[in-house]
């Protein structure tokens, strides 16, 4: 077990390091702003006094590495400073929204992951059949469509033509859980469509890849029935690629969620980020970027660790 632990620790360390570098990148990218950050935020019309006040407020009078360290040490405990536009703490701006985004992404994932894996296994079994061809064309179409296209089509059909779901997924007021699911159904469905297609294609490819292995032929020549070949001989070896596929697509959900939130006016962190970008509210941009990047890295890390844990060669060393 020692080797596996070492590998996992190494992977964790590497993930942490990546996160650190990304945080440096995010922090110092803002430093690259031409001229002065405070000036850029306030615009040319600002008086020198207000600029100076903002500089002190943002701590801009200290050298950059010091400011980075203080920013990071605060960020680690969830304190991202104060919004440059509204003056409220960044946590208040994005905290609740982050929960909303997580809810939407999980909603989509809970539907998409099992669906995609089951469908992926089925098309792999029926490869080169009519069903597989049709699935291929449909999934290709789905991944080729921008999220906002799918979102608006769903609005057109299920909110306007057949008013079954609300076109705007606002979360105002106290909602019961079923109401919540109903309100957020269309944005979740949009994400499901995109992610399922991706995952299905990748699952299919991973399984077909495995089916070419000599040990699968051996199993067939041993008289093992087809379903058992898949379940007992292919699947145990397919976990690593499948976990990878899932993590990759959950990470993809994070990017997709930004556009979908805008389409459905959903109060998530993605929308907050877009607003902050257009208002040049850098503390919020930095915080949101860091949260997105951290989630992304965490998911990839989970995939790698999962792949290590399911690899028989690593689990049972010589």
Partner 1 sequence: MNEFVIAYFAALIIASCLAAYFKYTRAFMLVFSLTLVSIIVGIIGGTSALWTITIFAGLLALAAALSYAFREFLIQISRPGLAKELRTAPLTAAFGMFIIFTYAIAGVFAPWIAPHGQAEVIAGAFAPADANMLLGADQLGRDMFSRLIYGARNSVGLALVATIGAFALGAVSGLFAAVKGGWFDQAMGRSADIIMSVPSLIFALLMLSIFGTNLSIIVIVVAIIYSPRVFRLTRAVAGNIVVMDYIEAAKLRGEGDWYLIRKEILPNCTAPLIAEFGLEFCFVFLLIAGLSFLGLGIQPPTADWGSMVRENATLISFGDITPLIPAAAIALLTVAINFVVDWMLFRSSGLKEQ
Partner 2 sequence: MTRFAKKDILLEIRDLQIQGYTDETWIDIIKGVDLTLHRGEVLGLIGESGAGKSTIGAAAMGYARDGTRISGGSIEFDGIELTNASQAEKRALRGSRIAYVAQSAAASFNPAHKIIDQHTEAPVHYRIQKRLEAQEDAMELYERLRLPNPQEIGFRYPHQVSGGQLQRAMTAMAMACRPDLIIFDEPTTALDVTTQIEVLAAIRDIVDQFNTAAIYITHDLAVVAQMADTIKVLLKGEEVEEASTKEMLDNPQEDYTKSLWAVRSFKRPQKSRPTDGTPPIIAVKNVDAAYPGGAKVLDDVSFDIYPGMTVAVVGESGSGKSTTARCITGLLPPLKGEILFKGDPMPAKYKDRSLDQLRQAQMIYQMADTALNPKVRISEIIGRPAQFYSGLKGTALKQRVDELLDLIELEPSKYYDRYPPELSGGQKQRIGIARALAAEPEFIICDEVTSALDQLVAEGILKLLDRLQRDLGLAYMFITHDLATVRSIADEVVVMQHGKVVEQGPKEEMFTPPHHPYTDLLLSSVPEMDPEWLTTVLEERGVDNIGDAADV
- Positions touching partner 1 (CB under 8 A) are 18-19, 21-22, 25-26, 29-30, 32-33, 130, 136-137, 140-141, 143-149, 152-153, 155-156, 159-161, 167, 251, 254-255, 258-259, 262-263, 273-274, 276-278, 280, 282, 285-286, 288-289, 292-293, 296-297, 300
Q: DSSP secondary structure string, 110-163? A: HHHHHHHHHHHHHHHHTTTSHHHHHHHHHHHHHHHS-HHHHHHHHHIIIIIIS-
Q: Which of 225, 231, 255, 265 binds partner 2 (CB under 8 A)?
A: 225
Report in angstroms how near the CB of residue 315 gets to partner 2 at its nearest.
Answer: 9
Question: With binding defined as CB under 8 A, does residue 307 bind partner 2?
Answer: no
Size of the site for partner 2 (CB under 8 A): 21
12 or 25, CB closer to partner 1?
25
CA 248, CA 199: separation in Å to the nearest integer? 9
Q: Contact with partner 2 (CB under 8 A): which of 35, 162, 221, 278? A: 221
Angle at 292 between CA 291 and CA 295, to 5 degrees: 85
C-alpha to C-alpha distance for 145 and 316, rounded to whole angstroms: 44
- The candidate with the shortest Cα–Cα distance to 80, out of 298, 276, 261, is 276
Residue 5 or 160 having the CB closest to partner 1: 160
Q: Which of 32, 223, 227, 278 binds partner 2 (CB under 8 A)?
A: 223
Select from 237, 277, 280, 293 the one that contacts partner 2 (CB under 8 A): 237
Give phi and psi for 89, each to the nearest 5.
-60, 140
112 within 8 A of 192, measured Cβ to Cβ: yes
Q: What is the contact surface with partner 2 in residues (CB under 8 A)?
A: 212-215, 217-225, 232-233, 236-237, 312-313, 316, 318
């Amino acid at each position: 077990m020692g080797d596996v632990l070492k590998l996992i620790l190494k992977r964790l360390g590497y993930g942490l390091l990546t996160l650190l570098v990304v945080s440096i990148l995010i922090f110092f990218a803002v430093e690259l702003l031409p001229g002065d950050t405070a000036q850029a935020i306030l615009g040319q019309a600002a008086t020198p006094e207000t600029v100076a006040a903002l500089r002190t407020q943002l701590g801009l009078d200290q050298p950059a590495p010091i400011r980075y360290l203080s920013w990071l040490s605060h960020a680690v405990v969830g304190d991202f400073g104060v919004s440059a536009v509204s003056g409220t703490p960044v946590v208040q701006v994005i905290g609740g929204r982050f929960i909303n985004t997580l809810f939407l992404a999980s909603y989509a994932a809970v539907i998409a992951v099992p669906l995609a894996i089951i469908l992926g296994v089925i098309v792999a079994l029926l490869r080169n059949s009519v069903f597989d061809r049709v699935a291929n064309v449909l999934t290709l179409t789905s991944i080729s469509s921008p999220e906002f296209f799918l979102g608006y089509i769903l609005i057109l059909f299920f909110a306007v033509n057949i008013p079954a779901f609300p076109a705007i997924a606002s979360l105002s007021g106290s909602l019961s859980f079923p109401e919540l699911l109903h309100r957020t159904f269309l944005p979740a469905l949009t994400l499901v469509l995109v992610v399922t297609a991706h995952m299905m294609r990748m699952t299919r490819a991973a399984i077909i890849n495995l089916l070419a292995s000599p040990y699968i032929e051996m199993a067939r020549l041993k008289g093992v029935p087809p379903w058992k070949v898949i379940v007992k001989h292919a699947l145990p070896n397919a976990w690593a690629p499948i976990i990878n596929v899932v993590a990759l697509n959950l990470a993809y959900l994070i990017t997709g969620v930004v556009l979908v939130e805008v389409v459905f006016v959903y109060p998530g962190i993605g929308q907050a980020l877009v607003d902050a970008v257009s208002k040049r509210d850098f503390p919020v941009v930095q915080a949101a970027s860091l949260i997105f990047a951290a989630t992304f890295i965490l998911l990839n890390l989970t995939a790698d660790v999962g792949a290590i844990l399911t690899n028989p060669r690593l689990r049972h060393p010589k």
